[in-house]
Amino acid sequence: MTKFDYVIGIDPDVDLSGYAELNCNTEQVHLESMSFPMLIEKVLQAQKKYRDYKLLIVVELDRNTKYNWHLATKDNKFVAKAKGVAQGRNQQMAICIAELLSRLGLEVIERPPLKKCWAGKDKKITTDELFRIAGLSFNKKRTNQEERDACLLALYYSFIPLRLLNKKQI
């Protein structure tokens, strides 16, 4: 497997996609949320900026999953329909991002969502857990779920050894 100098993780969303730009050498992470046009512009800027380095783009996308939405027992058919439509729109956004970036000559990996095994709601990673990952330097103190998921995608392909620090160790 190739070692990359920079890994960009993208958690696609119709409204604002999560973007994580990880420098694998300095272990610095830039997190941001942005619209589709801004996301493409940001990745193209990174492509230009890192043209002499190995750059990988990881897009959260599972083309084999027919569903990835969670119905509650109290949901009626209208709520179920709305959730299905939202999931389909997000899936299409992920496909568009991955295919466009590939077509533009970037190395893109489509990665199914990582297993949720954290302390947050629905076992999603919390900001505190993300910041407790050893040795990383972040550009911001508050994050949203899309940014955290994008960061985990970038970390997954970075070869940076990870471990959670106790709050006392920080």
54-89 tens-digit pLDDT:
999 999 998 876 555 567 788 888 888 887 788 888
| Contacting residues for 25 by C-beta, under 8 A, at least 6 apart | 5
Amino acid letter for position 40: I
- Position 170 pLDDT exceeds 70: no
Boundaries of every domain in the chain: 6-169
**Could you tell me the pTM of the whole model?**
0.89
Residue with tokens 């027919």: 66
Of the options 1.10.150, 3.30.420, 3.40.710, 1.20.120, the CATH number for the domain spanning 6-169: 3.30.420
> From residue 110, how far is each of 11, 57, 102, 132 by CA, in Å?
11, 9, 10, 27
